[in-house]
Amino acid sequence: MEETKKKKKGKAVIVGGSIAGVSCAHSLLLAGWDVVLLEKSSGPPTGNPTGAGLGLDPLAQRIIHSWLPHNPHLLHNSTVPLTIDQNQATDSEKVRWTLARDENYNFRAAHWADLHGLLYNALPPNIFLWGHLYLSLAISEYKTVIVKAKVLQSNKIIDIESDLLVAADGCLSSIRQNFLPGLKLRYSGYCAWRGVLDFSENKNSEIIQGMRSSYPDLGKCLYFDLASGTHSVFYELLNNRLNWIWYVNQAEPELKGNSVTLKVRDDIIKNMHQEAKKVWSPELVEVMKQTKEPFINAIYDCDPLKQIFWGNVVLIGDAAHPTTPHGLRSTNMSILDAAVLGKCLEKWGAENLFSALEEYQSIRLPVTSKQVLHARQLGRIKQGLALPDHEPFNPKTASPEECHELQQKTMPFFADIPTILVDSAQCFTCIIRT
């Protein structure tokens, strides 16, 4: 009986059904917790949802493998290797040269929707409450969290009580605003045009042949191309798709709703194509022109928070550390947040929730704080923006040391594995050591 008391089973409500939320659901279920996930969308993504490519680092890959013990090949079969990290420059005459190249990169590239579907389909379907909009939270007299949500189909308001509330509701987190009402995101000074070209029906088109000729490592390389005051990123995804991003310095756009993604009119897209011709190779411009429904992300981050939990409410993913994308950290940080949170809850149990969340914060906050600031620095370097400690980066005059700083492996804690994942996992240790 005493043992039963010690092992009280916790219940968690997760708000947000994106990759951070579904990752957290996996980790908490493995820790022995009951989980309910609230998501305002009416159902899982179908068709061709707005989304783009992402890169998974080796640790994130291994964590996902540990969540899919009965299907170890699923992740490998839905991603492609990124074994090279190449930074190059393009001048006004469209002449290119290599600035830095790392041939031991060992990431894998995925489309957002593919990764989300992989993680979602491996979860019990009954834990999701689709079409539920988070409204507010309150702490009960018993120190539990009561979440108020609206069922969008019926407009009914419901209350859900739990031991823990996990905010996985993104960089514009409503839950975070309860505790940090004055916090504002920092606009980076630039936006990103993004798109994914599906060339599955025309694999040998002139455009694709031209891209493969101009960028011979396409299919295994993460390409960063730096031009004057701008840069682009592109890499191949599974099933004959090409992910591309083009960062453009501009005034902060006016955001509508709770999103940093903007859909754009046809005339604005045409203007983007005209501007791209002035900067990029004809092959890359054609990729942009052939992409259906490119969209714009306004790029924000946030100065590191001083804490990421309050009582029995905890932040993970972009809610905890909004970041610019230049270090490919957003998804990887979300997955690692989820894994560490789960292990802390498993170690301490629901009856010692404060200790679990305190350890989670002590492990993750120092790491994510440095990574956010490093990604910010990388973005400013690659966009040719002012830097606090030296002149703006100039690809034509950059020293080897300055070029080395462009590489992904200079990210703080780049290959770090938190001790709690090595020491406390039952089968995870063998996975991460293979």
Question: Would the pLDDT of 388 be above 90?
Answer: no
For residue range 404-430, list pLDDT tens digits in order: 999 999 999 999 999 999 864 444 444
149-169: b (≥16 Cβ within 10 Å) or e: bbeeeeeeeeebebbbbbbbb
Percent of residues, the chain, with pLDDT higher than 70:
94
CA distance 161 to 382: 47
Confidence of residue 432 (pLDDT cuts 50, 70, 90): very low
* Mean pLDDT, rounded, for 326-343: 97
Beta-carbon-side half-sphere exposure of residue 260 (alpha carbons within 13 Å): 25
Instruction: Report whether 296 contacts 192 (CB < 8 A).
Output: yes
For residue range 350-366, list pLDDT tens digits in order: 999 999 999 999 999 99
* Mean pLDDT, rounded, for 225-243: 95
The pLDDT value given to residue 427: 45
For residue range 201-222, list pLDDT tens digits in order: 888 899 999 999 999 999 999 9
CA distance 177 to 298: 20
Domain spans in the chain, listed from the N-terminal domain onward: 2-62+114-185+307-386+405-432
Confidence of residue 51 (pLDDT cuts 50, 70, 90): low
Question: Would the pLDDT of 233 be above 60?
Answer: yes
The pLDDT value given to residue 267: 93
CA distance 246 to 192: 5
Confidence of residue 49 (pLDDT cuts 50, 70, 90): low
The pLDDT value given to residue 305: 97
Q: Which CATH superfamily is domain 2-62+114-185+307-386+405-432 in?
A: FAD/NAD(P)-binding domain (3.50.50.60)
